[in-house]
Structure 1
Amino acid sequence: MKTIIHRSENRGHANHGWLNAKHSFSFASWYDPTKVHFGALRLLNDDEVAQGMGFGKHPHDNMEIITLVQEGALEHKDSMGNGSIMRANDVQVMSAGTGVFHSEFNPSKDEPLRLFQIWVFPDKGNVTPRYDQQTYLPEGRKNTWQEIIKPDTQMEGDAIFIYQQAWFSLTDLDATNELSYTNKKEGNGAYVFVIDGDVEVAGEKLKRRDALGITEYENFNIKASTNARILVMDVTMIELG
């Protein structure tokens, strides 16, 4: 087993007034050559969007874009004709493929929007753009794993698919509880992101918004010191070049 720790306080930070963003991987004006990607995982942005503000219409192509709303509401519109309001526990996937435009706004007049936006390199290029959205209730992840993202080659279950050999799983652990995670595909790595709480993962102590990248493993344990929420992103360990 090999591990790499990404501490919360070492993330990139950009505060634009209307947008307060923390970057786990190099993004926009923040660049760290040691944090460009973790395998197929390209981006993990921790965004807070002010009331009535948001991202205007902008393009993407050949990227799997996953959005997890944590608090507030997110209004989504795209060039495929989709329009929706997402709230906490909602997960959205957009396969940009040959190209898509979309916008994302906080429609609330009095509540901030907090979300995670995650980009994953696809294993299929120039696919027809697609959109999907699903609600995953907290009771489905209480001291167990709740799979929210899976590969397009594995259609069983309730998880939304993306074009990559990747699986995303959430858990809400009660304090003192322990949960084991098993590698989904030989050669994949796991990027363990602590959304809330204090935990010990594979023997490493992690706090809120810390992350641990794990490779060359079969399984590992997560022990909760406090009530905690954890997201595991199990991804192909591709090399860029």
Structure 2
Amino acid sequence: MVVERFTAYHHLRAALALGCAQGVFTFNEYVARRELGAGREHIVALLLAPALAQTLATFWNPADPGRVLGRRPFRVLGMGGQAPLALLALVAALGVTITASPFVAALALASVCGALLIPTQGAILSNNYPAPRRSRRFAAAVTLQATGLVVVSVPLGYALDRHLVAWPHAWFLGAVLAALGYARWGKLRRRRPPPPPAHLVAHRSPWRTLRHDRRFLVFEAAFMVYGIGFLALQPVLPLYLLDELQVDYTQVA
């Protein structure tokens, strides 16, 4: 119970901080194209980089009982991944002109680092939350994160349209909020759980599951087709909204 409460305390605060940061980063591709003249190749790279990183992250299984998960991934990838973005936004806020390429590269790096941490986050929470209350804890964190996103993105879109705030200041704040969220995650630790019985270890391989469970294989194949379609449309949408419909930031929010 102590571990569960400690985990929930930091999990909820991390969710709120990261949700507020996402409220800023909702406008990433729109600011890159409208304010900095990013090309289509920039938008495609920015949106597809985290999806590729998350795919690669699945080949490293943090749920392996031989691993101890602690603070280092969140300090190196989480907080470290936000540092270039914060520095670049600070430089732009001081009046130095920057181009689209370094801005997109910093955004892509931050999103890739965040995507690589997803399996680690899931492993920590699944170990620290008991099964009967796990879904309730997850729901509370997701709700808080979504609330932070909405509370930040809508006023920020309005402010950007009316030049009440310059985008570099907002993105510096977003990077700081994201780093604070990962700092909260860094306080959590999943100690090595007891090793599973030998007959269960053989079933931990995802490839073995796909070979032996045909219904699950069909589901995964269909979900992969859906995912490919989603990824194909993801870069098209902001280009269509900006270039064809000429939407403003409030409408994006």
- TM-score of the two chains, using structure 2 as the length reference: 0.23
Q: Which structure features the higher share of helix residues?
A: 2
Q: Which structure features the higher share of strand residues?
A: 1
- TM-score of the two chains, using structure 1 as the length reference: 0.24
Q: Relative contact order (C-alpha < 8 Å, sep 6+): which is higher?
A: 2
Q: Which of the pair has more CA radius of gyration?
A: 2
